[in-house]
Structure formats: structure tokens, C-alpha cells
Copies of this chain bind each other. A is one copy, B any other.
Amino acid sequence: MKTNVTLFDIAEALGISTGTVHRALHNHPGVNATTKARVLQMAKTLGYRPNLAARFLSSKRGLKISVNTLEGTTSFWDEVRAGISEEAKSVLMENVDLEFRTYPRLGEGEEDAFEAALEAKVDGIIIFSSQPEKLRSRIRRASRGRIPVMCVTTDAPNTGRLAVVSIDTFASGALAADLMGRFLQRKGRLAVTLSDLRITEHAEKFSGFEKTLQSFYPDLCVLPPLEDHDIEPEAYEKSRELLEVYPDLAGIYITTEASIPVINAARDAGLLNQLTIITTDLFPALVPQIRSGAVSATIYQRPRTQGRMAFRVLHEFLAEGECPSYQVSLAPHLVMRGNLDFFLERQSGETTGTRRRNGTREPSANVPAEDVILSRG
């Protein structure tokens, strides 16, 4: 156990050459089945762990990873991609090539992008899918073909995907409910908007919200969720109708990024001041709403960290052949007026991001930063 087991040790113990051992361990063609079995057995008994330094030194080719995400309507997906890039750069001594394939709109071009990635013979895929069922067979195919697929933000259940990184949706809903309960301190009705109940993540946020209210704030009750299908006019219209039916509504929890149309509907109905609004995520248009107090708090889903974790888990699998986990849940951050500035990038002159060396990010106002703020100190 003192010195690390090498390919040569296995070869020597079996009286064969390292070449054969190598081929056996990597399922390369042209190895006698029995030899292969013996190699695998010996590798296990000796506790062989490949020396990654040697591996990366001798094999010059780097990993090619496709990142299939939504084109940035808000900054969310830009942040996810930035997180992936950061982490890719931080992998010292490896050449990681990221290929970004983006879809212009939800549900448009997801299949094409996936096919393109497969054709490009990437080593792994990080993917956001709004309609996982449409990709199910493709993800299956990729996984069977030893191309790991990492889901980010939304899961693709029953597809054989390697893992998923997302915000803990139940905790998000619970936190929103807890805040509502403490903020309101009275009887009242609450509304929740979401994209579609069939999306697991959204259903879970609603469920976390509802259950927490029931447990701790029985004076508050939730209306059935309002589905906006990620269409802003639909969000506006449905909110307006809702506020007509319930002009005494106490608060709204918006679980998606479509908060602006809801806020507008409330303002147009003259009810903005009496409503306690909790939103999701952070983007330029939301900033003034938080500053003005129209939005009491927003639950930030840490897109940058989601991207970073997605890359890390995928990379660890690719490097070690093991997956540290099938499901990574992150705690959301709570942003209010007081700590809002922490989450916004500093004025120009300072630098933000994990790596400073390449100065990739342009500092600009009202763009959310996350978690790690760096400064020359």
C-alpha cells in the first residue's frame, strides 16, 4: 500500500506487458477475453488507481464538452455558462474544450443541438432541457454510448442521465412561505405563479410553499397555482384576472423569472402597495423593483454556482469514471434591499469572478454577481 500501484505492477504480476493491461482496462478491441478478465481482477485486488498526471501528460487530446443551454433572455443562462467556463479554466493541466450550443427560445432546437453535439463526438454534454420527454431517447442513446449527460436547472427523469444540478426547489418554496408568513402576520390569501405544473421543479416549489404554510401559518392559504407557460403576456393577463377576482390578495410568490408582468398587473390594478411580493432570481429589470420595495425579497437561484457544480461533477466523472452524486441540490440565496448590492457587480475598476487572470467578465452595473466577490485588498 505504500507505493501506488501502476500499470506496470499489474503487468508484472501477470507476466504480461503494460500495453495489454492498458487495452484490457480500457475496453479496447483486440484483447483475449480471459486475459482481460485476469487483468481486471488483478487491478481490483491490487487496488489500481490510474495516475492522472501521467495520463494527461501522455494523451494530448483534451476533453470536448458540449454545453446546450438557452440563449440569454435574461442573464440567468449567461451566468450558468460563465460558471461552467470558470470551472473549466480552473481545471489545471487539462485541455477542456467547451462547445456552446444555444437555443433561441424555450423548446426550440433542443433536439438539433443534442444531435449536433453527438455528431461532434463530444466527451460529455451539459444540458438544460425544458421538455425532457422530447429528448429522452436521445439522452438514453448518448448514455448507452458512454457519453455522460449532465442536467442543469431542470432534471430529465428516467433518461439515464448522469446527474442533475439544481436549486433545492422544496427549500425554495418553504423559504418563500416562511417569509410570507413572517412578513404578513395576518389572515389572507396567497397566489403562486409558475410556468407549468408538469415541470417537477415548479410543482415542488408550490408544494414546499403550501406545506410550509399549512404547518406554520395556518392563517394563510394558497390559491391554486397560476400557470403562465413562460409566456409573459399570459402571465400578465392571468395575474390581472386573478387580482380582479381576489382584490384582497395578500401576497404573490413568483417561482419563475416572469415576475415583471405580474408586478405590472398588480400596479395596473392599483394593488401593488398592499401586496407582499416574493420573486425568483435576479436580473436588471428586477433591481429597481427591489429597491423601491415593490418586491420584498427575491430567491436567487445561483446560476453561476449551478454551472460550476455541473461542470465539476461531469468532469469528475470523466476523469475518474465515478460520479460523486446523482443529484446536487443547492441552497438558494435570499436577496433583499439591504444585501442587494452584494449581489450586484461592483462598479468598474474592481474585478469580479473566480479567476482574475484572464479578466473575462466585463464589469457592468445591475448585473448579478454571485457568492464570491473579489477585490484587491
Chain B CB within 8 A of A374 CB: yes
Stretch touching chain B among A12-20, A137-145, A349-357: A349-357
Within 8 A of B (CB), among A304-336: 309, 312, 316, 319-320, 322, 324-331, 333-334, 336
Chain B CB within 8 A of A108 CB: no
A322 CB contacts on chain B under 8 angstroms: 357
Most buried by B among A57, A322, A356: A57
A245 CB contacts on chain B under 8 angstroms: none
Within 8 A of B (CB), among A204-254: 208, 212, 215-216
- A338 in complex: contacting residue of B174, B331, B342, CB < 8 Å: B174
Is B343 a contact of A331 with CB atoms below 8 Å? yes
Q: A51-B57, A168-B342, A339-B175 are in contact. Are A182 and B325 (CB under 8 A)?
A: no
A177 CB contacts on chain B under 8 angstroms: 338
Chain B CB within 8 A of A376 CB: yes
A90 CB contacts on chain B under 8 angstroms: 312, 316
Q: A168-B342, A337-B178 are in contact. Are A372 and B320 (CB under 8 A)?
A: no
- A374 in complex: contacting residue of B183, B325, B374, CB < 8 Å: B325
A residues with CB within 8 A of B: 51-57, 90, 92-94, 164, 168, 170-172, 174-175, 177-179, 182-183, 185, 208, 212, 215-216, 293, 296, 309, 312, 316, 319-320, 322, 324-331, 333-334, 336-339, 341-343, 354-357, 370-377
Given contacts A53-B94, A182-B336, A330-B371, 11 further A-B contacts (CB under 8 A): A53-B56, A54-B57, A171-B339, A171-B341, A178-B339, A179-B336, A208-B338, A309-B372, A325-B374, A327-B376, A328-B373
